[in-house]
Structure formats: structure tokens, C-alpha cells
Amino acid sequence: MGELRTIPLTARQITDEAWEPYGWLPVDDSDARDAEYNYEFTWGDAHVNVITHGFDEVEHTATGSICRWFFRHNSHTQVLMGLNVDSIVAVAPADVDFSDPSHLDSVSAFVIRPLESLVLGRGTWHWGPYPLGPEPVRLFNVQGKGFAQDNVQVELPAKIGAQFEVLS
């Protein structure tokens, strides 16, 4: 493959509309939309815990963080809520496989503030959330207990000759 291309990607505020291709944002139980959403755990293994991601898990530049890979879970949705610090997440829809350069256009990045929550639709590609500063981000996490056996990874430089610099 040719020279590695670095694509700048500005993380934006998360909104219902912006997040829609990747899942949904939880709503109040009194909101009529609450009944529309279906969480999927095809292995019947829903599990709740708190996970952390550290600043040193990814490479940083003077202006952002380098996203070289994406992960996804084909058997379940995943719910995340940042608990303590601002973080960033990059996502791509479940229907892309990064086999075509146009798939890179479907990637978005978002800033997640403490106590903001999101649902990753089953199969949604994700990178992070990673903290914006040195303190690790603590995340309330609902996902399949067997996530390690259902953790598909794509390495962008090897697959498509590109990576993202996520700017916050």
C-alpha cells in the first residue's frame, strides 16, 4: 500500500441527529422514543461494569489523538456513559468494512462530557472513548459479557492506508 494518509477529524458535540447513524442516545423513561429502542444481546449475556481508558493507550500529536483502528461487537449493543472527565470517541456505521476509500467519509468523532451517555448499535465500529487529558476516563459500561470473543478489529493503515487525527 502507498504512503499513509492522515485525515483530520474534528470531534463535535454529541446530539441525537449526529449520533443516529451509530446508535442512539438514551432518553428519559417518559419520552415516547424510549419504547422504540431495542437493545440486542444475541448471546443473552448482558453485563454491567465500570471500565477505564487511559491517555497513554493512544498516540497524541500537538493537536489531537491518532485513531489507527476500530473495534466492533457483532452480538450486542453497548451502552457507555463517561463518569469523570471529557473524552473523545470516533465511530463508523456497522455497514462499512473499510474496503473502499469512501467508507472513511462515514467516520465521525464526538466529545463525551461527564454523565453523557450513548448507545453503540450492534456492529458499530468504535475507537475510544479516550480521555482528553492525563486522567483516565471511567466509563459506566453495559455490554455482552463475552465481548472478548466478539471483538472484531480493523487496523486502518493496513486495511486502507489511512488513519485519523481526532481533533478536540
* CATH number of residue 112's parent domain: 2.60.120.480
What's the average model confidence in pLDDT over 91-120? Answer: 96
pLDDT band at 146 (very low <50, low <70, confident <90, very high): low
And the C-alpha cell for 131? 480521555
Four-point Cα dihedral 48, 152, 155, 91, nearest 10? -50
pTM flag (> 0.75): yes
Q: What is the DSSP letter of 102?
A: G
Total number of domains in the chain: 1
Q: Report the alpha-carbon distance of residue 14 to residue 25 in Å, rounded.
A: 9
And the C-alpha cell for 90? 470516533
Residue scoring higher pLDDT (132 or 45): 132
Residue scoring higher pLDDT (41 or 128): 128
The pLDDT > 70 percentage for the chain reads 97
Residue scoring higher pLDDT (39 or 85): 85
Beta strands in the chain (DSSP E): 5-10, 12-13, 23-24, 46-53, 64-67, 69-72, 78-82, 87-92, 108-112, 117-120, 125-131, 137-144, 152-155, 162-167
Per the structure, the complete domain to which residue 67 belongs is given by 5-167
Q: What is the DSSP letter of 99?
A: -
